[in-house]
Amino acid sequence: MRALYLKDGNLQYLTDYPRPERRAGSSLIKVTVAGICSTDLEIVRGYAGFQGIPGHEFVGIVQESDDDSLVGRRVVGGINIGCGTCRVCLSDGPEHCPERTVLGIINHDGAFAEFLTLADENLIPVPEKIADETAVFTEPLAAALRILDQVRIRPTESIAVVGPGRLGMLIGQVLRLGGSQVTMLGRRSESLALPFSLGLDSGLVAEAKDDSYDIVVEATGNEAGLANSLRLLRPQGILILKSTFAGTANVDLSKIVVSEIRVFGSRCGPFEPALRLLAEDKVEVESMIEGRYPLADGLAAFTHAARIGVRKILLRM
Amino acid sequence: MRALYLKDGNLQYLTDYPRPERRAGSSLIKVTVAGICSTDLEIVRGYAGFQGIPGHEFVGIVQESDDDSLVGRRVVGGINIGCGTCRVCLSDGPEHCPERTVLGIINHDGAFAEFLTLADENLIPVPEKIADETAVFTEPLAAALRILDQVRIRPTESIAVVGPGRLGMLIGQVLRLGGSQVTMLGRRSESLALPFSLGLDSGLVAEAKDDSYDIVVEATGNEAGLANSLRLLRPQGILILKSTFAGTANVDLSKIVVSEIRVFGSRCGPFEPALRLLAEDKVEVESMIEGRYPLADGLAAFTHAARIGVRKILLRM
């Protein structure tokens, strides 16, 4: 089959990659659309030491499955596959299973290919009214919703999202659903056009005041963004780390201790609520699509996605 | 009066420092005993840019006050003095008031002197049965109790305290009161003698397993201790930052995000519960005293306190 294949930091387009073999309890899925996110860019740069087919945001059609009710269904899918038997899997789910594989990230070929396999229990049918190019946002929208799984956010609290990018825009839209005042903060004025077009308050992060927000979501994944996020937080405020950081970074621990900041690492989230929001048009994703590429042009798509300020790049299989 | 005075990184013993002037709403207190903590050592090294008399752990006798009921009473005192009128003061108390002074730390002469002044509302009488050398531990014990103000700790959770030092030993004792399994982890086997003598489990931090604790309290204040603390935490575990970090440090943000670690900066705590625990002998402090110095030998006391592995050093006025 056709696939983007990563080995030793080298991403290639292959036409003869073996079609994945479906194991019992897994389905074979024909990928329709897949999205490129910042984690994919980090993975291609060497993060997580992944080798294989990257890609974890997808929508596709089930081709083969032990579960007849799934065959022919359009699905999205949770990306963490746990062992299913350990204490973590049984109590919390697969997201933190120490033996887990992760679609396109850890020991599991991903979605930048004609076909992928995924555990049946990870698959969620997509309601008909949701278009493919909307459904492909389910995974990152679920990640945005994860914040609400972790932290209580009062409607009276002031929230800043630092980094008005692909993920940041989903986070901003989700957090304002509860009535909170959400401000999208970027480094460049051009990056504020999209938040403005969606009716979200926005501003330059350099102009935002110290100690002025109750909750700050760090969605840049870089050290400067993190430093600004900490700076903006009021004492006892909450910092959500929502971006993939490759390795270590310098952090102002003095502020965290003296101002008793609470920091929450935040990763994968629940798919069902994300699909509900998409079905109800509560979150706008169409204007976030910046480019569409056929899989054969996948390398060009990655180059495009890596440019500063670029929104979502989709691959069509 | 006699005092230890810090200016431009130089700590001096003075005999002719002016006695502090009591303002309306403040009391003049004759200090009986004061304790040297790691924050004092950092302050002398330049942390917080403090100039004046350091010292914030004390017990003393009220000499003068507008409040007659306080005069002659033996007291300890909260170290944060807020403006009393801002939103933070009115809703949360003085600990995070942006205009606050802090005894011996921010714009307020402290306890390493014959006399100090402190706002009346910060003073708490000490029950008779608590000796001076026990009462002087009220402030750090309150800081340890602050953890329970911030985080729910289930009795079934496994807890590690990294850094079996002055503050770490109070934290370990407090956290095991709820029935939790608490392990004190140190870098050197000699540092484990005190935890052992108090019946606390202990071990070498280098030998502690990755991802093995539900909650880790970082009580070393150094980067290596922090790295170990993160390493020990299970996914979705809680890291409490309890030590003063002077400035920035390198932090493994990848672990925080991927394992969804929660980090809580933690500072000052409630005095009344600390006094109750001391009055009920629920926390052992006597064996934590390593040396007693008259104020005139304060510089030697600081040198002693700065040695590796040294426990509490007290100053007697």
Looking at residue B47, its pLDDT comes to: 81
Give the residue on B whose Cα is nearest the Cα of A252. B248
**Chain A touched by B71 (CB under 8 Å):** no
Q: What is the residue-averaged pLDDT of chain B?
A: 95
Which pLDDT does position B48 carry in this prediction? 79
Write out pLDDT tens, residues B60-88: 999 999 999 999 999 999 999 999 999 99
Instruction: Give the pLDDT confidence of A92-149 residue by residue, as tens digits.
Output: 889 999 999 999 999 999 999 999 999 999 999 999 999 999 999 999 999 999 999 9
pLDDT digits (tens, 9 = 90+) for B272-289: 999 999 999 999 999 999
What confidence category does residue B49 fall into, taking pLDDT thresholds of 50, 70 and 90? Answer: confident
pLDDT tens-place string over residues B139-156: 999 999 999 999 999 999
**pLDDT tens-digit series, residues B179-188:** 999 999 999 9
Comparing C-alpha atoms, which of A83, A136, A62 is closest to residue A285? Answer: A136
What confidence score (pLDDT) does residue B308 get?
A: 87
Alpha carbon of B148: minimum distance to chain A alpha carbons (Å): 13
The reply to whether ipTM tops 0.90 is yes
Asked if B66 is an interface residue toward chain A (Cβ–Cβ < 8 A), one would say no
Instruction: Count the alpha carbons within 13 Å of A242 in the hemisphere toward its beta carbon.
Output: 36
Q: Do B257 and A243 touch (CB under 8 A)?
A: yes
- With a cut of 80, say whether residue B16 has pLDDT above it: yes
What does the mean pLDDT of chain A come to? Answer: 95
Please tell me the CATH superfamily of domain A3-137+285-316, with its number: Medium-chain alcohol dehydrogenases, catalytic domain (3.90.180.10)
Q: What is the mean pLDDT of residues B214-236?
A: 95
B138: pLDDT strictly greater than 80: yes
Token output for A121: 């229990």
Q: Which amino acid is at A199?
A: G
Residue A307: what pLDDT?
Answer: 94
| Secondary structure in 3-state letters for A242-286 | CCCCCCEEEEEHHHHHHCCCEEEECCCCCHHHHHHHHHCCCCCCH
A254 contacts B267? CB cut-off 8 A? no
| Least Cα separation, residue A49 to chain B (angstroms) | 13
Q: Is the pLDDT of residue B291 over 90?
A: yes
pLDDT above 80 for B90: yes
Q: Tokens standing for B136?
A: 């002087």
Between the CA atoms of A43, A306, A8 and A245, what dihedral angle is there, to the nearest 10 degrees?
-30
Which of A88, A247, A254 lies at the smallest CB-CB distance from B247? A254
- Cα A116 to Cα A60, A102, A105, B136: the distances in Å are 9, 12, 13, 65
With H, G, I as helix, E, B as strand and everything else as coil, classify residue B82.
Answer: coil
Cβ separation of A265 and B257 shorter than 8 Å? yes
Band (A208; pLDDT cuts 50, 70, 90): very high
Q: Which residue has the tokens 């903060």?
A: A185
Helix (H, G, I), strand (E, B) or coil at A61: strand
pLDDT > 70 in chain A, percent = 100
Does A253 sit within 8 Å of B247, measured CB to CB? yes
Residues of A in contact with B261 (CB under 8 A): 263, 265
Give the start-to-end residue ranges of the domains of chain A.
Answer: 3-137+285-316, 143-265
Q: Is the pLDDT of residue A246 over 80?
A: no
Q: Residue B247: is its pLDDT beyond 80?
A: no
Q: What's the CATH superfamily of A143-265?
A: NAD(P)-binding Rossmann-like Domain (3.40.50.720)
Q: A41 CB near a chain B CB, below 8 Å?
A: no
For chain B, the C-alpha Rg in angstroms (whole number) is 19
- List helix spans (H) across chain B: 38-44, 87-92, 132-135, 138-150, 166-176, 193-197, 223-232, 253-258, 271-279, 298-305
Query: Which residues are within 8 A (CB) of A238 and not within 5 positions of it... i.e. 6 or more apart?
Result: A151, A214, A215, A216, A261, A262, A263, A264
Give residue-wise pLDDT tens across range A11-26.
999 999 999 999 999 9
Using the predicted structure, report yes or no on whether residue B246 has a pLDDT greater than 90.
Answer: no
Is residue B308 exposed (0-12), middle (13-18) or buried (19+ Cβ within 10 Å)?
exposed
Cβ neighbours of A259 in B, within 8 Å: 96, 265
Q: Shortest CA distance to B48 belongs to which of B17, B21, B79?
A: B79
Please classify residue A131 by burial: count the beta carbons closer than 10 Å to its beta carbon, then call 0-12 exposed, 13-18 middle and 19+ buried.
middle
pLDDT at B181: 93
Residue A202 pairs in a beta bridge with: A184
